[in-house]
Structure 1
């Protein structure tokens, strides 16, 4: 185990580092207008982050020991299809969740 003082130093250091990284991007800009190219790229940040968070859980789920299973693949496909058709995030999330639980129930 790590001793408590080292743990708190690491936690505080990571918090300060995280704050400084975010402040360097937004705090130094102040009231100035951001360049159009930067704003265009920032619009795609959430679109890039969400698949990066979800893909490992679909392809290598910890619940199955890292083996892909049909329930999670079907849920991802359902969420993707509903999201593309409706352009509604909540509908895609509900479709994926319902498909996941339904497939887990059916497959045992």
Structure 2
């Protein structure tokens, strides 16, 4: 395992890094207007975060021992198609949940 001192050092370093990233945006430039190019790039943050969180759970799911699972891939494809068709994130997420549970029930 890891030494307790090293563990607390890593936790403290990650906490300081996280605080530093937030302080740059909120403390240093929080009361100023951001340039248009920065605002344009920040619009894509939410679009990039959700797939980054979901992709490892689809490609290497812990529930199947890290092997790709047809039910999870099918649910991801269904959620993607519904999201693209409706342009609604919540519709895609709900369809993905339904497809996952339906495919797990069908496949077993």
Q: Shorter-chain TM-score: which interval?
A: 0.7 to 0.9
Q: By how many angstroms is 1:14 displaced? A: 2.3
Total equivalences in the alignment: 108
Structure 1 residue ranges, 4+ long, deviating more than 6 angstroms after superposition:
none
**1:32 aligned partner:** 32
Of 13-22 and 33-42, more deviation after overlay is shown by 13-22
**1:61 aligned partner:** 61
**1:104 aligned partner:** 104
Q: By how many angstroms is 1:78 displaced? A: 0.8
Q: By how many angstroms is 1:7 displaced? A: 4.1
Partner SS, residue 28 of structure 2:
coil
TM norm structure 2: 0.87
Q: Whole-Å Cα distance in 1 between the matches of residues 41 and 102 of structure 2?
A: 37
TM norm structure 1: 0.87
Q: By how many angstroms is 1:59 displaced? A: 1.2
**1:74 aligned partner:** 74
